Amino acid sequence: MTSGSTVSAALEQRYADALGAYMRCADEEALLHAYELGRQIMDSGGGVVDLAAIHQTAFEELIDGRAGHPGRQLAVGRSYEFLAECLAPFEMAQRGFREANLRLLSANEQLESTNRAIERERATLAAVIASTRA
C-alpha cells in the first residue's frame, strides 16, 4: 500500500476493504465503518497522503473488478464523494493555515512599516539633537 508510512498494513487493508464495501453497496453502516478506519489511520500517524493513497488503491481494485458492471458508475461516484469528504477536514486545516499565514504576513508588513517610521523619527531626532549641540 503506502511506502514509509507509520500505518499498519492490516489497518490499511481493513480501510481498503471498508471502502470497497461502501462503494459496492452504499450502506450507511459500511460508510461509518470506513470513516472510523480512516480516522484510525490519521490517529496512528498516517497523513492525508496515506489516506488518499489507500483510497486510490481500493478505488482501482474496485474499478478493475467492476469493468462493464452496471453499478460501476455509481461506485465511481461514491468513491469520489467519499474521498472528498475525507479530505475536507485537511482542506479546512490548510485553508486555516493559509489564512493565518496571510494575517502574519500582513502583521509583519505593518511591523516593518512601523520600524521604518521609527527609524525616520530616530534620524530626525538625532539631527535635531546634533543641531542643538553645534
pLDDT of residue 69: 61
pLDDT of residue 3: 45
pLDDT of residue 134: 65
Q: Which residues 6+ apart lie within 8 Å of 8 measured at CB? A: 44
Record the pTM.
Answer: 0.48
Torsion angle defined by CA atoms of residues 20, 21, 22 and 25, in that order, rounded to the nearest 10 degrees: 120
pLDDT of residue 77: 73
Residues in the chain predicted with pLDDT less than 70, given as ranges, are: 1-7, 26, 48, 62-73, 75-76, 86-87, 89-96, 134
Domain boundaries of the chain, sorted by first residue: 9-133
Of the chain, the percentage scoring pLDDT greater than 70 comes to: 69
pLDDT of residue 2: 46
